[in-house]
Amino acid sequence: MSSPLNQIQAPIAAEMQEFEKKFRQSMQSNVLLLDKIMGYIVKRKGKQMRPMFVFFTAKLLQENITDATYRGAALIELLHTATLVHDDVVDDANYRRGFFSVNALWKNKIAVLVGDYLLSKGLLLSLNNNDFDLLKIVSNAVREMSEGELLQMEKARRLDIDESVYFDIIRQKTASLIASCCAVGVSSVGADAETVERARLFGEKVGIAFQIKDDLFDYGTAEIGKPVGIDIKEKKMTLPLIYALQQADWLTKRRIIYNVKNNNGKADRINTVIDFVKNSGGLNYAIQVMNAYHQEALQLLHTFPASPSRDSLEQLIRYTIEREK
């Protein structure tokens, strides 16, 4: 039986197949080691939601997509893959989506150079085809992702993240990438600046809802591929916890923050935080906020003409907040 994502992808199955070929070509190298690593990266691809957003948003404006749309999708995948390879080095992570990370198999030095190579391939793909508008959109997203990651690191030391800072972080770290997919999609078929911004904002709302859903998984709302409590273990302040702390008295707040700061991976301390968040209404609040962003995304989507692609995007954003992993 096909997964919900495969069903949503069905109307652009031919485009996705063509994209696979073009993406693999865009990564090719004459250096045998690099080509071997590129082959490994392609094999362990994830859900491929990013190219889906690019193709569906392009088709909001015209049914037949152009070579520029394929290049835009490839650019996003190249630059995003580069950031993931570098992230795994920074985090000293040995796994990515259930596969060994590049740094686990080929060590940090090679992984950093592979990330640099992917970055340069993406830049050249755009420059060689004069896709300056697409390059500007995606380069801005990569800058925002880096800033968001550094902002989170800076704030994590003191755990002084309030809701406004939290939304700044996830807007930059997660939402900026989905926003750039949607902006690239419409820009690749000649949209004007107002339409590009509308599509970008739509993607940003979807990205924020997507990240809140991810935060909820940490509290055991569904079985997914990461252990419950991993955000707490890593001292990450997410929306359910931030809200729960806002409702707490001074003494309770101090006790919970102490447990987060000094959990040392101990299950009892992590479970204390999880129970506190659940009992303080943190999960219900996060679900309400996620649904509000979902509705705002739908309103923006409905400013585009009705079409099969618009229907598919509705299904895709519903999937992002109803997914079980």
Q: According to the model, what pLDDT value does residue 46 have?
A: 67
Q: Distance between CA atoms of 120 and 125, rounded to whole angstroms?
A: 8
Identify the pLDDT of residue 189. Answer: 94
The predicted structure's pLDDT at residue 105: 65
Query: Could you read off the pLDDT of 121-140 as tens digits, one per residue?
Result: 889 989 999 999 999 999 99
How confident is the model at residue 6, as a pLDDT? 78
Residue 320 has pLDDT above 50, yes or no: yes
pTM of the model: 0.88
**Residue 24's pLDDT is what?**
82
pLDDT at 170 exceeding the cut of 80: yes
Note the pLDDT tens digit of each residue in 76-90: 988 888 887 777 777
Show me where the domains of the chain are located: 4-322
310 pLDDT more than 60: yes
Paired tokens of 54: 């690019």
pLDDT of residue 186: 96
CB neighbour burial string for 6-37, b if at least 16 within 10 angstroms, e if fewer: eebbebbeebbeebeeebeebbeeeeeebeeb
Cβ pair 175, 293 in contact under 8 A? no
Give which of 299, 229, 289, 239 is closest to 264, Cα–Cα.
229
Total Cβ atoms within 10 A of residue 106: 17
Residue 47 has pLDDT above 90, yes or no: no
Distance of CA 162 to the CA centre of its chain: 21
Average pLDDT of every residue of the chain: 85
Q: Looking at per-residue confidence, does 69 or 117 come out higher?
A: 69
Percentage of the chain beyond pLDDT 90 is 39
Report whether pLDDT(1) > 60: no
pLDDT band of 175, cuts 50, 70, 90: very high
Please name every residue paired with 100 in a beta bridge, in sequence order, or none if there are none.
95
C-alpha dihedral (39, 43, 44, 45), degrees to nearest 10: 100
| Per-residue confidence band for 223, with pLDDT thresholds at 50, 70 and 90 | very low
pLDDT greater at residue 284 or residue 35: 284
The CATH homologous superfamily of the domain defined by 4-322: Farnesyl Diphosphate Synthase (1.10.600.10)
At 272 the pLDDT is 87
At 135 the pLDDT is 93
Q: Give the tokens for residue 266.
A: 């101990």
Q: Among the listed ranges 15-29, 64-78, 303-317, which one has the minimum average pLDDT value? A: 15-29
- For 98-117, the pLDDT digits (tens) are 666 667 767 777 778 878 88
Confidence at residue 121, expressed as pLDDT on a 0 to 100 scale:
87
Q: Is residue 262 very low, low, confident or very high in pLDDT (cuts 50, 70, 90)?
A: confident
